[in-house]
Amino acid sequence: MKNSRRSFLGKVAATAALTGMPFTNYGMEYERAIDSTSKKSAPSDLKITDIKCGYIRGGHSLFVKIYSNQDIVGHGEGVDATPGTYHLVKIFGDRLKGKNPLNVHRLFEDLRRRGFFEGAQAGMYVSVLTAVESALWDLAGKALGLPVYQLLGGKFRDRIRVYMDTALYQNKLPSPEDFAKSAKEAVDMGFTAVKFDLDQGNDPNKYDQYNWTASPAEIQRMYDQMAAAREAVGPNIDICADMHGRYDTTSGERVAKVLEPLNLMWLEEPIPAENVEAYKKITESTSTPICAGENHYLAYGFRPLLEAGAVDIVMPDLQKAGGLGEAQRIANLANLYYVPFSPHMVASYLGAMASCHVCASIPNFMVLEWQIYFHKNPMFKEIVTFDGAMVENGFIPLSEKPGIGVEINEEGMRKYAVEGVPFFE
């Protein structure tokens, strides 16, 4: 390249001297052509060279970077079941080094099958796998110059509707007036859907801290809170309630029944995740839609729920359920049963946008979770880099940049890193 460039520029200089045209004009177009030509090798030559990671929020948020021999870096995130998984990330890195990151499904399956006896059915193994798989999609999109939704088969929508999780659980014991105020604030911010938490561990009316049965006073408190929210925003705003799997089947049935007049978008996880038959019993007992899936892993985990008709809506967490490809498989499985897909999301904006690419790529998307912390905690703007507004009038604009469209900001994240754990080393 250098020799041919030198020869060409020499000829250009001679021609410029004969014609009287300034040499700088002659050479400028060639320089532009060089600058605009990709210096990357063919995608088939792309290879993974390393994986590094960092943790924040006590280790419950894992961020990974996958490096390649072409200086393209993929970014991914995992949540919840990630504390203490640093060495698992490094093990995955050793298993992926030298492989082509464009084979996302193949690499996902390689890691999953390799872990059959290492816990690859759920939990920490799958949460870390999720972060790595998401980073592979990001890397592949950048290498091919395409947004992730395009790699997933294209898009059904250009923006992703979100509901505001008000996080009122952070209050000591929120009153109905708190619920009403929070609901109105969310609507004033442009959101058309809002969620509240009904489980209150410090409710003085609880029988005790281990009894999963809700007392009559607890149920009345739940109704009063949700009724206040409904009255504050009127009939045309979606509101939903989360019980975080902290009650028994009887309580789930009673709460779902008493909330029926409020026309909820859904009642979320009234009981723990494991018992499909108990979920089915609650769902069949009420007209309130029942939603679950935050604590289910892989498409295998959703098959029994859907086959039994145990829930009305599925809500996998796309930062721990297996990754973006697996999320699309879960959505497509749900679509066979005409069940809406409404992902849980407690990640950073990197995870939120990664989820958006999946939500754009499927027909049965309903709504995605959004957190009040994006508006109140500056950390969530410091730890990532992105273009444009995070959210506009209750919708996330889908990124058209290659890859996910959001990247980890290491320097911004460093001050929030978990002490005693290597940080992107």
| Close Cβ partners of 20 (under 8 Å, ≥ 6 residues apart) | none
- What does the alpha-carbon distance between residue 196 and residue 268 come to, in Å, rounded to a whole number? 10
CA distances from 422 to 54, 85, 404, 408, 416 (A): 7, 11, 25, 16, 13
- List, in sequence order, every residue forming a beta bridge with 28; answer none if it has no partner: none
Q: For the segment 13-53, what is each residue's pLDDT rounded down to a tens digit?
A: 454 444 454 444 444 554 554 455 454 557 778 999 999 99
pLDDT at 44: 72
106, 157: one domain: no
Instruction: Look at residues 102, 128, 146 and tell me which one is the last residue of a structural domain.
Output: 146
**What proportion of the chain, given as a percentage, has pLDDT over 90?**
87
Q: For the segment 324-338, what is each residue's pLDDT rounded down to a tens digit?
A: 999 999 999 999 999
In a domain, 51, yes or no: yes
Pair type for strands 193-197 and 384-385: unpaired
In a domain, 355, yes or no: yes
365, 282: one domain: yes
Q: For the segment 296-310, what is each residue's pLDDT rounded down to a tens digit?
A: 999 999 999 999 999
Mean pLDDT of the chain: 92
Measure the N-to-C terminal CA separation of the chain; round to a whole number of Å: 36
**What token pair was written down for 371?**
């957190």
- What does the alpha-carbon distance between residue 282 and residue 285 come to, in Å, rounded to a whole number? 5
| Close Cβ partners of 349 (under 8 Å, ≥ 6 residues apart) | 374, 380, 381, 384, 386, 390, 406
Domain count, the chain: 2
134, 236: one domain: no
If one counts every other C-beta atom within 10 angstroms of the C-beta of residue 43, the result is 13
Is residue 101 a contact partner of residue 140, using CB atoms and an 8 Å limit? yes
Alpha helix segments (H runs only) across 20-122: 23-36, 86-96, 104-114
Listed residue (297, 279, 326) closest to 137, CA to CA: 326
In a domain, 313, yes or no: yes
215, 343: one domain: yes
CATH no. for residue 263? Answer: 3.20.20.120
126, 259: one domain: no
Q: 396: domain range?
A: 151-401
pLDDT at 23: 40
* Burial class for 268, CB neighbours closer than 10 Å (0-12, 13-18, 19+): buried
123, 167: one domain: no
In a domain, 91, yes or no: yes
In a domain, 159, yes or no: yes
Taking the CA atoms of residue 256, residue 257, residue 262 and residue 263 in that order, the dihedral angle to the nearest 10 degrees is: 70
- What does the alpha-carbon distance between residue 105 and residue 366 come to, in Å, rounded to a whole number? 25
Q: For the segment 147-171, what is each residue's pLDDT rounded down to a tens digit?
A: 999 999 999 999 999 999 998 866 6
Pair type for strands 159-165 and 368-371: parallel
Pair type for strands 48-56 and 61-68: antiparallel
**What token pair was written down for 251?**
């309580």
Q: Is the pLDDT of residue 2 over 50?
A: no
Phi first, then psi: give them for residue 49, nearest 5 degrees: -110, -25
Q: What is the mean pLDDT of residues 247-262?
A: 98
Element containing residue 131 per DSSP (H, E): helix 123-144
Amino acid at 134: S
- What does the alpha-carbon distance between residue 425 and residue 410 come to, in Å, rounded to a whole number? 11
CATH no. for residue 68? Answer: 3.30.390.10
pLDDT at 342: 98
Q: What is the mean pLDDT of residues 117-123?
A: 95
243, 294: one domain: yes
268, 359: one domain: yes
Place of tokens 């890859």: 403
- What does the alpha-carbon distance between residue 403 and residue 397 come to, in Å, rounded to a whole number? 15
- What does the alpha-carbon distance between residue 341 and residue 366 come to, in Å, rounded to a whole number? 6
Tell me if the pTM is above 0.85. yes
In a domain, 34, yes or no: no
pLDDT at 168: 81
